[in-house]
């Protein structure tokens, strides 16, 4: 879902930077408040793993493929969508500058879509489902899947405003493809990783949902 520079006029690309920057700022503030020496290795491992898995495109049929985004996964583990914004900003910076994956001027839009929207929707859907007593694996699956789907729809609307996609056809195709990508690439992988961490390191997930006082609070 990495928008290339050619898909969006510069003025609009700058508008998305303006929207994304406060979130990036808040994610840095989150790190200053929440990160300590013991949590830095977790953040670094997740960032490296998400960069790698984003290079692994999964075929979904219809001559199309897709990959995981990972913002919801990071947000669930750290108990804050700001952690997802931070990791995705870092990953998108390296992808854009070193590998020409996703544009430079449109990076603000890509950070907004993949870091902010997929992470916030994914995380708060997860929290809502957990509050309704759904299991960790089901909540993380649905949350991550929904996060990716909504961010794909947002991307389609941005592409319409940019004059690149027609509205209905763009929404339909982006929605259809990412419904499937979100199911396999985002939902399944997120649920597997969260379940594995829940079994091996339940203490890591304390912020997310084991402690009811902190549920859904932006740290």
Residues 115-144 that bind other proteins (CB under 8 A): none
Per-residue mark of binding to other proteins, 168-197 (x: CB under 8 A): -xx--xx--xx--x----------------
Smallest gap, in angstroms, from Cβ of residue 126 to other proteins? 21
SS3 content of the chain, % helix, strand, coil (to 5): 75, 5, 20
Smallest gap, in angstroms, from Cβ of residue 186 to other proteins? 11
Is 157 a binding residue for other proteins by CB under 8 A? The answer is: no
- Phi first, then psi, for residue 16 (nearest 5°) are -70, -30
- Chain CA centroid to CA 73, Å: 8
> 36-75: which residues touch other proteins (CB under 8 A)?
36-53, 55-60, 62-67
For tokens 């829940």, what's the residue?
A: 198
**3-state class (DSSP) for residue 58:** strand
Smallest gap, in angstroms, from Cβ of residue 104 to other proteins? 5
Distance (Å) of CA 73 to CA 85, 125, 170: 11, 12, 27
The residue (of 102 and 143) whose beta carbon lies closer to other proteins is: 102
Choosing from 100, 192, 217, 219, the residue that interacts with other proteins (CB under 8 A) is 100
- Phi first, then psi, for residue 25 (nearest 5°) are -60, -45
Decide: 13 and 105 in contact? Cβ < 8 Å.
yes
Smallest gap, in angstroms, from Cβ of residue 210 to other proteins? 13
Choosing from 99, 131, 217, 218, the residue that interacts with other proteins (CB under 8 A) is 99
> 3-32: which residues touch other proteins (CB under 8 A)?
3, 5-7, 28, 31-32
Distance (Å) of CA 86 to CA 100, 146, 183: 20, 20, 24
Smallest gap, in angstroms, from Cβ of residue 120 to other proteins? 20
Stretch in the footprint of other proteins (CB under 8 A) among 14-22, 89-97, 115-123, 135-143: 89-97
Q: Which of 120, 160, 177 is nearest to 144 (CA)?
A: 120
């Amino acid at each position: 879902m990495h928008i290339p520079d050619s898909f969006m006029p510069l003025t609009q690309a700058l508008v998305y930077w303006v929207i994304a920057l406060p979130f990036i700022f808040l994610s840095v503030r989150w790190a200053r408040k929440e990160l300590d020496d013991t949590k830095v290795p977790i953040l670094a491992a997740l960032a490296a793993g998400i960069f790698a898995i984003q290079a692994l495109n999964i075929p979904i049929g219809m001559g199309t493929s897709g990959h995981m985004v990972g913002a919801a996964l990071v947000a669930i583990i750290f108990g804050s969508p700001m952690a997802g914004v931070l990791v995705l900003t870092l990953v998108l910076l390296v992808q854009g500058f070193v590998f020409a994956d996703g544009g430079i001027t449109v990076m603000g839009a890509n950070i907004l879509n993949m870091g902010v929207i997929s992470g916030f929707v994914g995380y708060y859907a997860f929290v809502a489902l957990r509050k309704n007593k759904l299991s960790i694996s089901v909540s993380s699956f649905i949350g991550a899947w929904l996060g990716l789907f909504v961010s794909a729809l947002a991307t389609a609307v941005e592409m319409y405003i940019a004059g690149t996609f027609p509205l209905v056809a763009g929404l339909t195709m982006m929605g259809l493809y990412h419904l499937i990508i979100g199911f396999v690439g985002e939902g399944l992988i997120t649920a597997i990783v969260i379940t594995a961490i829940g079994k091996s390191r339940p203490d890591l997930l304390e912020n997310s949902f084991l402690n009811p006082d902190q549920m859904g609070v932006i740290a």
